[in-house]
């Protein structure tokens, strides 16, 4: 009798578990059906962040139960701090608003800068499609065409960015000036890559630090004609397509110089392009969107469009992003103060 009773309890428990899982599956399908997901991009239209968001938006919905519509909204300002504040404070944690910002603004939080209304450690991270490989691009005809010429230049090259401490466009030139002694002047205040590109064409600035995948998309024609020159790559391993271009770390003459390049450019590459949700988004929605994002990045149609747009897929998971950000906030007070003085001046 006892054995028979045990069998009945096991059978009943199995049925209950099946019903629960089936109901969760149905809830997931019905939750997103007929709804619209917004991807809020913290930088202006026409740049690399915008291109990633729009390419992803065209394919993401088919991997989400209920097949919701996915749209993109640009919310530029302060290097994407405006958008990050919005995602953190104003967006509903309902799985219908995804943020895509420059992860470099997490330095601004680390430094205790005014205007930061978010805590990077509390976002729910979906993942990143690409781990940045930073390259310095300069405009032809500005007196410099090789790294040796740049080191010897009497006039500094002007680099456009968004806001001090907020993007690689702002941070990388400052690090190169400090670590390598390259003559550089930084000019912030542009809303995004598209505006910096226009400034380069109009002669306001001479160069820009961009990821290789963004640079070859934004400057596709100019790279072919030689009007834009990739003069330096700030990566731990050479980018195969431009293996001949010098690596910044090889020109760092002191341990401190090498450490600066690693802390500010190499390490943040993983979380530079995060897609994330507001804090307290229900676990079910976080799981659904992480799964959809993962499936998307291996989808043939998506890969074909990304390849056509010259976007390279080199993903990081939501869990990997969260850990990398935890590591950033584990820096010592002395390291934080040193970086703050460098990046915000």
| Partners of 138 in beta bridges | 207, 229
The pLDDT score that the predictor gives to residue 23 is 44
Q: How far apart are CA 147 and CA 157, in angstroms?
A: 12
DSSP sequence for 215-274: HHHHTHHHHHHTSEEEEEEE-SS--GGGTTSPBGGGG--SHHHHHHHIIIIIGGGGGSS-
- CA-closest candidate to residue 55, choices 159, 129, 3, 116: 129
Looking at domain 28-129+272-343, what is its CATH homologous superfamily?
A: Bordetella uptake gene, domain 1 (3.40.190.150)
Q: 214: phi > 0 → left, psi -120 to 50 → alpha, else beta; which?
A: alpha
Question: Of 324, 211, 343, which Cα lies nearest the Cα of 270?
Answer: 324
Tens of pLDDT, residue by residue over 207-236, are 999 999 889 988 999 999 999 999 999 999
Q: Report, in angstroms and rounded to the nearest whole number, the Rg of the chain calculated over CA atoms.
A: 23
| pLDDT tens-digit readout, 248-259 | 999 999 999 999
pLDDT tens by residue, 279-308: 999 999 999 999 999 999 999 999 999 999
| Nearest-angstrom CA–CA distance, 35 and 20 | 24
Closest CA to 76 of 103, 32, 45, 39: 45
Give the pLDDT of residue 229.
Answer: 98
Distance CA 98, CA 72 (A): 9
Q: Can you count the helices (H) and strands (E) in the chain?
A: 14, 11
CA distances in angstroms from 34 to 54, 67, 100, 344, listed in the order given: 20, 8, 23, 45
pLDDT of 46: 87
Residue 333, classed as helix, strand or coil, is: helix
**For residue 345, which of 195, 185, 205 has the smallest C-alpha distance?**
185
Residues 294, 290: Cα–Cα separation, whole Å = 6
Decide: 248 and 180 in contact? Cβ < 8 Å.
yes
Complete DSSP assignment for 205-227: -SEEEEEHHHHHHHTHHHHHHTS
Largest CA distance in the chain: 94
| Number of C-beta neighbours around residue 19 at 10 A | 10
Residue spans of the domains in the chain: they are: 1-27, 28-129+272-343, 134-268
pLDDT in tens, the chain (345 residues): 545 555 555 555 555 544 444 444 446 668 999 999 999 999 999 888 999 999 999 999 999 999 999 999 999 999 899 999 999 999 999 999 999 999 989 999 999 999 999 999 999 999 999 998 999 999 999 999 999 999 999 999 999 998 888 889 999 999 999 999 999 999 999 988 889 999 999 999 999 999 998 899 889 999 999 999 999 999 999 999 999 999 999 999 999 999 999 989 998 988 999 999 999 999 999 999 999 999 999 999 999 999 999 898 999 999 999 999 999 999 999 999 999 999 987
Separation of alpha carbons 22 and 53, rounded Å: 32
Separation between Cα atoms, residue 330 and residue 327, nearest integer Å:
5
Q: Percent of the chain having pLDDT more than 70?
A: 92
Q: Are 52 and 275 in contact (CB under 8 A)?
A: no
Rounded Cα distance, 235 and 248, in Å = 7
Class of domain 134-268: alpha beta
Among 314, 267, 302, residue whose Cα is nearest residue 131? 314
Question: Could you tell me which residues come within 8 angstroms of residue 139 by beta carbon, excluding any fewer than 6 positions away?
Answer: 200, 201, 206, 207, 227, 228, 229
What pLDDT score does 9 carry? 57
| pLDDT the model gives residue 345 | 75
């Amino acid at each position: 009798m006892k054995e028979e009773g045990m069998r009945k309890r096991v059978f009943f428990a199995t049925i209950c578990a099946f019903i629960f899982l089936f109901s969760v599956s149905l809830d997931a399908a019905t939750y997103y059906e007929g709804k619209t997901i917004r991807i809020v991009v913290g930088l202006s239209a026409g740049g690399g962040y915008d291109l990633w968001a729009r390419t992803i938006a065209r394919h993401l919905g088919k991997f989400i139960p209920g097949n919701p519509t996915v749209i993109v909204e640009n919310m530029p300002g302060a290097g994407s701090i405006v958008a990050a504040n919005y995602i953190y404070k104003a967006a509903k944690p309902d799985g219908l608003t995804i943020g895509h910002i420059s992860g470099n603004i997490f330095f601004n939080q680390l430094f205790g800068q005014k205007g930061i209304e978010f805590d990077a450690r509390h976002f729910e991270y979906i993942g990143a499609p690409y781990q940045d490989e930073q390259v310095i691009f300069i405009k032809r005809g500005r007196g410099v065409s090789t790294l040796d010429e740049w080191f010897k230049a009497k006039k500094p090259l002007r680099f456009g960015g968004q806001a001090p401490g907020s993007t690689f466009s702002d941070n990388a030139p400052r690090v190169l000036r400090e670590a390598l002694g390259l003559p550089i002047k930084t000019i912030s205040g542009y809303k995004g890559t598209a505006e910096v590109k226009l400034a380069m064409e109009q002669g306001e600035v001479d160069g820009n630090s961009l990821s290789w995948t963004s640079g070859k998309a934004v400057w596709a024609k100019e790279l072919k004609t030689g009007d834009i020159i990739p003069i330096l790559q700030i990566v731990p391993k050479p980018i195969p397509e431009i293996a001949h271009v010098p690596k910044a770390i090889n020109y760092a003459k002191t341990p401190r110089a090498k450490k600066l390049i690693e802390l500010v450019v190499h390490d943040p590459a993983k979380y530079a392009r995060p897609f994330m949700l507001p804090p307290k988004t229900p676990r079910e929605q976080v799981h659904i969107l992480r799964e959809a994002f993962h499936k998307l990045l291996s989808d043939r149609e998506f890969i074909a469009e990304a390849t056509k747009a010259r976007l390279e897929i080199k993903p990081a998971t939501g869990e990997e992003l969260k850990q990398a950000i935890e590591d950033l906030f584990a820096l010592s007070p002395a390291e934080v103060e040193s970086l703050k003085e460098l990046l915000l001046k």
